[in-house]
Amino acid sequence: MADKTESGSAFDLLGQFDIAPIKAVKDTPFEFLTNSALFMILTVAVIALLMLVFTANARVVPGRTQTLSEIIYDFGFGLVSDILGKHGRPFLPFVMSIFLFVFVANIWGMMPYSFTVMSHVSLTAFMAIVIFSMVIFIGVRRHGLKWFSLFAPSGVPFWLLPFMIFIEVLSFFVRPLTHSLRLFANMTAGHIVLKVIGTFASFTLIGGIALLPALIALSALEFLVAYLQAYIFALLAAVYLADAVELHH
């Protein structure tokens, strides 16, 4: 049984997350590409292509593709307006870029022989740190040193203020950690479960037939999770940006 746990076996649940070079481009100028980098490039390419197709030949009376692009825009506009208000509307492209990148990357990860780029905490952490840094930069630029009053809740007794400042600063700097781990953990766990069910389903024909409904249901659930995690990641980015746009105590 020991040989079945080795890398490359049916029970190698984490092998699907290994970052590896693309063999097809070996000994070419593109040999630096890895499976992770390739699917990030494909994600950006798909988003750019769809936006060009959806907005081509824009008309007053929209067609089907233009209607779809307007639905996507209205979704992002509603998200940003509800959280950031009218002063946060300049951040609409940033928040929608985050949502579309995470969502399309998650959907790519559900395709056969693909790679789930959000299964690596290095990427999700980098995105969270960019958002976190942007919040600090915009907050200081917009409000100056007054922005740091965010960490001193109003109405708190003087003797309790140092403790509250410590709690507020700690919770603020924990945000990138929780923001990145939530997306990473959900995408990784979902694909591991699918791998386990798919492995057992491949053992026998009877087992495959018996587990097929569960595999279909889990796949459908994972597509829903792919959307929800993209939405939550973008939503939290907007919530954090709200502290930069307006001082909340």
User: What residues does each domain of the chain span?
Assistant: 2-245
Residue from 17, 45, 46 nearest 188 by CA: 17
> For residue range 14-73, what is the model confidence (pLDDT) as tens digits?
777 888 888 887 778 778 888 899 999 999 999 999 888 887 777 767 777 778 888 888
Quote the tokens at residue 24.
Answer: 């097809």
pLDDT in tens, 166-208: 888 898 889 889 999 999 999 998 888 888 887 777 676 666 6
How far apart, in whole angstroms, are the C-alpha atoms of residue 110 and residue 116? 8
Q: With cut-offs at 50, 70 and 90, classify the pLDDT of residue 5.
A: very low
Q: Which residue has the higher pLDDT, 204 or 143?
A: 143
Supply the DSSP symbol for 21: B
Structure tokens that stand for 140 in this block? 């200081």
Number of neighbouring beta carbons within 10 Å of residue 100:
21
Closest CA to 192 of 116, 81, 93, 105: 116
Instruction: Give the predicted TM-score (pTM) of the model.
Output: 0.86
Residue 156: burial class (beta carbons within 10 Å; 0-12, 13-18, 19+):
middle
Q: Which two tokens stand for residue 105?
A: 């990357």
Cα separation of 110 and 8, whole Å?
20
Average pLDDT, the chain: 84
CA distances from 174 to 98, 102, 179, 198, 239 (A): 20, 21, 9, 36, 15
pLDDT at 30: 79
Contacts of 209 (CB under 8 A, 6+ apart): none
Q: In the chain, which ranges are continuous DSSP H helix?
A: 35-55, 64-84, 92-109, 121-143, 161-201, 205-245
CA dihedral sign of residues 64, 68, 71, 77 = negative
136-153: average pLDDT: 85
